[in-house]
Amino acid sequence: MTDAVIAQGLVKRYGDVVALAGLDLRVPQGTVLGVLGPNGAGKTTAVRILTTLLRPDSGSAQVAGVDVLADPAKVRARIGLSGQYAAVDEHLTGFENLDMVGRLYHLGAKRSRTRARDLLGRFDLDGAANRPVKTYSGGMRRRLDLAGALVADPAVLFLDEPTTGLDPRSRSDMWQIITDLVAGGTSVLLTTQYMEEADRLADSIVVIDHGRVIAQGSADQLKELIGGERIEVVVKNAAHLQQARHLLVGLAGAEPTVDEHTRRLSLPVRDGSASLVEALRRLDAVPIAVSDISLRRPTLDDVFLALTGHNTDPAGEPGLAPAVR
C-alpha cells in the first residue's frame, strides 16, 4: 500500500523569509500524522502546498498517489481540507453551504442534498440546518467546515489547526468527531499547536520549527525526550533556591532548571504524584517556605525548549536565552 501523503524537500520562500526549508513528511495509509509547531513554523504553508493552493519553490509531493505539482486537479478530487478559519459562507444556511460544496464536487443535485442532510445529522447540526451560518457558534462553524471537507468522502483529509480558538467543550466534541473519522479509515494530516491534541489524535507526530522537521516519533517518545511530567517549585526566599535544588535533585530524572529571577525550580520526574508528596515532605522538614508548587504535564513550550532552546513565542527573539538554566 502506498502512503497517503509523501512530501520530499519542500521549500517555500517569501522574499527573505523562509517558510519551508526542505520539509519531509509521510502519512502512511489510514493513519493520523500530527504536525506540531508554533505559529510561523510553516504548518499552514505545508498544508497549502499539499492541498494544491500553493506551489513550492522546490521539492515534490504526492497525495493519494497523485503528484501534487503535475496533476493538482486530480489531487483536489481526492482530498478534503478544513482550515484554521472556518471557510463557510455566513449568509447561507448550513444546508445550503454543504449542498453548494456537493454540487461543486459534481455530485449532482440529488446526491448533494442527501449528502448535506447526512452530514448535518452526523455532526449534530440538523437543528440548525436551515439557519444562516452567522447565527452559529464558533464550534458549530468549525463542525460545518469539517463537514464541508467530507462531502466527497475524501481519501485524505487535511485539518489545519482544527480546534485553535475553540472553547474546551467544542474542542473535545471536535476531537471525538475526528477520532470517529479515523476509525472509518480516513488518512489524516493534522496540524496543531497543542501537544495534548497531537497526543490524543495522532498515531505519529512530527515537530517542525523554522520550516523543517526537528523531531518525530510517537507522543510517548516525544514526551520521553523532555522527561515527561515536571514539578515546579517557587520558593518564598531566593536565598533558599540552591538549597531547595540540592534537596530535590535526587527526585529528578534529569538536571533540574533554576530560574533565579522568578525563584522557580523545575525538575522532570518519573512518578509525578509520589514525587510531589516527597518533594513537599523534604522542603517542609527544613523548612523552606514555598509560595507555589505544582505538577505539570509537558506542553509544546517544554518540547520546544528541550528541542531548540528557544520558546514557541514567535515574537520572542530566537537569539536570547529563554532563562537561566
Partner 1 sequence: MNVLWALHDGLVVARRNLIKVKRVPDLLVFTTLQPVMFVVLFAYVFGGAIAVKGSNYREFLIAGIFAQTVLFGTTITGAGLADDIQKGIIDRFRSLPMARSAVLIGRTLSDVANNLIVIVVMSLTGLAVGWRIRTGVLDGLAGFALLLVFAYAFSWVMAYVGLLAPSPEVVNNAAFVVLFPLTFVANTFVPLEALPGPLQAVARWNPVSAVTEAARQLFGNLAPGAPAPRGWALQHPVVYTLLWALGLLVLFVPLATRQYGRAVSR
Q: Does 83 bind partner 1 (CB under 8 A)?
A: yes
Q: Does 225 bind partner 1 (CB under 8 A)?
A: no
Report the site for partner 1 in 94-133 (rule: CB under 8 A).
96, 100-101, 103-106, 132
Q: Interior CA angle at 183 toward 177 and 185, to 5°?
A: 115
Site for partner 1 contains 322 (CB under 8 A): no
In the shown chain, the binding pattern of residues 12 to 51 toward partner 1, with x for contact by CB under 8 A and - for none, equals ---------------------------------------x
Buried-state track 226-253, b at ≥16 Cβ within 10 A, e below 16:
bbbbbbbbbbeeeebbeebbebbeebbb
What the block records as the C-alpha cell of 53 is 493552493
**Could you give the CA distance from residue 254 to residue 266 in angstroms, rounded to a whole number?**
10
The residue from 39, 70, 91, 167 that contacts partner 1 (CB under 8 A) is: 91
* Strand (E) or helix (H) holding 82: strand 79-82
CA 81, 48, 117 angle in degrees (round to 5)? 10
Q: How many CA atoms lie within 13 A of 45 on its CB side?
A: 26
Helix (H, G, I), strand (E, B) or coil at 232: strand
Angle between helices 300-308 and 219-226 (to 10 degrees): 60
Q: Does 81 bind partner 1 (CB under 8 A)?
A: yes
**# residues contacting partner 1 (CB under 8 A):** 31
Name residue 21's beta-bridge partners: 11
Residue 61 or residue 231: which is nearer to partner 1 going by CB?
A: 61
Residues comprising the chain, all counted: 325
Q: What residues numbered 131-150 form the site for partner 1, per CB under 8 A?
A: 132, 145, 148
Kindly tell me which of 104 and 289 has the beta carbon lying closer to partner 1.
Answer: 104
* Interface region with partner 1, contact rule CB under 8 A, candidates 20-28, 68-76, 215-223, 273-281: 68-76
Is 56 a residue that touches partner 1 (CB under 8 A)? no
Give the interface with partner 1 as residue ranges (CB under 8 A).
51-54, 73-74, 76-77, 79-81, 83-92, 96, 100-101, 103-106, 132, 145, 148
